[in-house]
Copies of this chain bind each other. A is one copy, B any other.
Amino acid sequence: MYQSDKIKMQLQCPMPKLDFDVITLGHGSGGILTNKLLDSGVFNILSNPILDERHDGAFINLESKTAFSTDSFLVSPIFFPGGNIGELAINGTVNDLAMCGAIPKHLSLSFIIEEGLKMSEFWEILVSIKFACEKSGVQIVTGDTKVVEKGKGDKIFINTSGIGSIHPKANINAKNINIGDKIILSGNIASHGMAIMSVREGLEFESQIQSDTINLNHTIINLIEKFGSDIHLVTDPTRGGVATVLNEIAKQINLGIEIFQKDFPIEQQVASACELLGLDPLYVANEGLFLSFVSENIAENLLQELQNDENGINAKIIGSVVKNHPKQVVLESNIGGKRVVSMLPGEQLPRIC
């Protein structure tokens, strides 16, 4: 870049005053700090109408309506109960496309490998990628492989980006959410995060906690086919968990969200692990779970349809959109008390996906 370009850049884009000078792990948490970093930096500098939508993927108009999404995966450990980083990377981007109401079709695959990774581990990851692609019906069509020196990475990081065509009956947009909309959770919460944490912390239970990583595209496209534009939003509560994503939505729609603790599906041993480690399951990452915001009049039918799907057996209506307390998520606890549930303030579980 020429010197004159540099000066032009500095004049046009002075850095805003921030209350941090260095980036910390909390900035990668998906919570408040991440939002601060993105708001002050990325979204501010790179603003355009498509990016500003801030959905899981971008809607772009080629000839037919298309969704485009990207995600980098750096979960540690790379192999965990229920999966590995390879299938996680495929399912993650497939699901982000599904959350746009798109049928995922083409994925890119980019590896950043730390020198010394065992070829047999790389192979196992590749094979999982192949099977995850087959399961979700996508193809890897382009890729990149890079290697960094020992100590400059951590075994393997994977980026996947994906393209899908929007289902003609889909009309997914937070702007469509109305007062009275029901919020449906597709299954048990906190399984992925606690599967990773239980390995890291060496926790042992009667049976191992398994990550819920799975492709959700077939499940979601089926719902869209049946309920079309009565589905206002689908989104997956990954990093930052259910609490963080609900906060993001409440902020975006300028309405209140009311949820009921007693309705939250959670596996017993996941709940125990959370208690043991002092973690609130509402903030723990999920990988095979999604939230739907739907018209009140179809909520029960959609719930039933979902419960008949292998990925929605434990689905429940967990709350609704209300006029009160706009931009806030209020939880009614098991004992009847109400409290505001905020966004994840810092880093809870680093390197969870």
Contact = CB atoms under 8 A, between A and B. Distances in A.
Interface of A: 1, 5, 8-10, 13, 15, 18, 20-29, 34, 37-38, 41-42, 45-46, 48, 50-51, 57-58, 60, 62-64, 66, 68-72, 74, 76, 82-84, 87, 105-106, 108-113, 115-120, 122-124, 126-131, 133, 139-149, 151-154, 157, 159, 161, 163, 165, 350-351
Ranked 8 nearest A-B pairs via Cβ: A63-B63, A28-B147, A161-B161, A70-B108, A58-B141, A58-B142, A159-B159, A152-B154
A134 to B, nearest CB: 10
Given A71-B144, A106-B58, A142-B57, A15 B48 contact: no
Contact of A141 (B28, B68, B108, B152): B68
Nearest to A55: B142
B110 A70 contact: yes
Contact of A50 (B48, B51, B139): B139
A141 B50 contact: yes
Contact of A60 (B28, B64, B106, B144): B106
Contacts of A157: 112, 157
B127 A70 contact: no
Contacts of A58: 106, 108, 141-142
Contacts of A118: 21-23
Contacts of A83: 1
A13 to B, nearest CB: 5
B23 A116 contact: yes
A80 to B, nearest CB: 10
Contact of A122 (B5, B41, B70): B41
B28 A113 contact: yes
A119 B22 contact: yes
B13 A130 contact: yes
Contacts of A147: 23-29, 350
Contacts of A28: 113, 145-148
B23 A119 contact: yes
Contacts of A161: 70, 108, 110, 159, 161
15 contacts: A1-B87, A9-B124, A20-B119, A22-B116, A22-B117, A23-B116, A45-B126, A46-B133, A60-B106, A62-B63, A70-B109, A72-B146, A72-B159, A112-B112, A148-B154
Contacts of A133: 46
Contacts of A126: 41-42, 45-46
A308 B334 CA distance: 74
Contacts of A144: 70-72
A82 B62 CA distance: 34
Contacts of A129: 45-46
A174 to B, nearest CB: 16
Nearest to A162: B161
A46 B130 contact: yes
A133 B48 CA distance: 12
B62 A145 contact: no
Contacts of A46: 109, 126, 129-130, 133, 140, 143
A109 B82 CA distance: 29
